[in-house]
Amino acid sequence: MIETSLKDIIPANYELLFSQSEIQNKIKELGQMICDDFKDANPILVGVLNGAALFLADLIRNINTDLEIDFIRISSYGDQKESTGHVKILKPLSADIVGRNVVIVEDIVDSGISIRFLEKMMLAFNPKKLKFATLLHKSIKTIEDVNLDYVGFDIEYKYVVGYCLDDKQFKRNLQDIYIIK
């Protein structure tokens, strides 16, 4: 039997951007910030599927206060590498967020269209507080006026993959984040 590793599925045109240890160190910092902001406030963290699944899982392991999680799934990309500008809800929020402290957790923010959509939608439910966390932010590409409360890394305008960020729905299982050259 031939053993394989994740390194075997990394194409030659992938260039390492952030290692697993760099990602985990940043998530630890973000978790502490959220914990400081919501100490004894029992926030609900809402992961935006599919990309934020791993980030949310690692993030909640670094928040030392009681919390709840939920998920929402939206799409503004389809199978494209660029946002279409139209956001569709594919899985609605399950939890009641009226009067709650809510943190929306995204994997990556580029144009800001999805964040603006989520902000308008969530505010309609009258949360006590609404904050946004993202692991990656392409600030140079952001066209919407968005307020991101917790940002892991500000990155240049490149297509990135790994750590649940996909390349046509594949490569989400890579532990590091890569730039596709």
Positions marked active-site: 110
Both tokens of residue 174?
Answer: 């890579």
- Dihedral pair phi/psi, residue 4, rounded to 5°: -120, 160
3-state helix, strand, coil in the chain (%, to 5): 25, 30, 45
Q: What angle do CA 41, 72, 149 make, to 5 degrees?
A: 50
Both tokens of residue 15?
Answer: 């260039």
Helices (H) and strands (E) in the chain, counts: 3, 9
3-class secondary-structure state, position 85: coil
